[in-house]
């Protein structure tokens, strides 16, 4: 497509959002939060390498962000270095939860099979992140994105279950 002998460039915009629901031990919904993610520099490079470079498609895992020692999320964060936040590890599962995406449709991709975290302690959660390493509290792997709850921090206690949905949309900008 050309206009006045110049190419018209179209930008590609990706937007990700976590939806996290918290249920008590009786299955009652306690709270529901959305968290629009910011992508890390490492995540942007990895996405480019996966789509256009030599990297193969990774398996993604969801992790939780807690309020302890929180100061900020940063574009320069990596799994090995994220001084402004800590991983929330107050759940029974021995690893971060794998997220399996359905086929893309309508410029959107999501996981209809939810990721579950069985909370086993009292904590305040701030948000979530995606990485390609499943090691709970691990520092290996690539940090794709981080996100804080849109409506503020949420308390969890032993017996709560967190269900996580992650959706990515793509659009020409």
Token duo for residue 90: 């107050």
Question: How many domains does the chain fold into?
Answer: 1
Burial class (CB in 10 A: 0-12, 13-18, 19+), 117: buried
**Per-residue pLDDT reduced to its tens digit, 14-44:** 899 999 999 999 999 999 999 999 889 998 8
Q: Is residue 128 part of a domain?
A: yes
Residue 47 falls inside a structural domain: yes
**Is 7 within the bounds of a domain?**
no
Is 9 inside a domain boundary? no
What is the Cα–Cα distance from 162 to 66, expressed in whole angstroms?
Answer: 13
For 37-86, write each residue's pLDDT tens digit.
988 999 888 888 888 888 888 999 999 999 999 999 999 999 999 999 99
In this structure, is residue 67 part of a structural domain?
yes
Residue 5 lies in a domain: no
Q: Which residues contact 100 (CB under 8 A, 6 or more apart)?
A: 111, 113
Q: Range of 161's domain?
A: 15-172
Local confidence band at 121 (pLDDT 50, 70, 90 cut-offs): very high
pLDDT at res. 54: 84
pTM: 0.90
Q: Is residue 1 part of a domain?
A: no
């Amino acid at each position: 497509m050309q206009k006045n002998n110049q190419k018209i460039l179209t930008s590609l915009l990706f937007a990700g959002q976590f939806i996290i629901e918290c249920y008590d031990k009786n299955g009652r919904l306690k709270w529901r939060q959305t968290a629009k993610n910011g992508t890390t520099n490492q995540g942007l490079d990895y996405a480019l390498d996966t789509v256009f470079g030599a990297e193969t498609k990774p398996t993604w895992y969801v992790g939780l962000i807690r309020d302890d020692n929180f100061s900020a999320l940063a574009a320069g964060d990596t799994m090995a270095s994220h001084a402004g936040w800590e991983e929330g590890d107050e759940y029974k599962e021995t690893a971060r939860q794998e997220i399996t995406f359905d086929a893309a449709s309508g410029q959107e991709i999501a996981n209809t099979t939810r990721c579950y975290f069985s909370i086993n302690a009292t904590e305040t959660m701030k948000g979530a992140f995606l990485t390609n390493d499943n090691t709970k509290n691990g520092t290996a792997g690539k940090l794709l994105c981080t996100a804080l709850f849109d409506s503020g921090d949420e308390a969890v206690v032993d017996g709560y279950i967190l269900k996580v949905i992650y959706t990515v949309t793509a659009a020409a900008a």
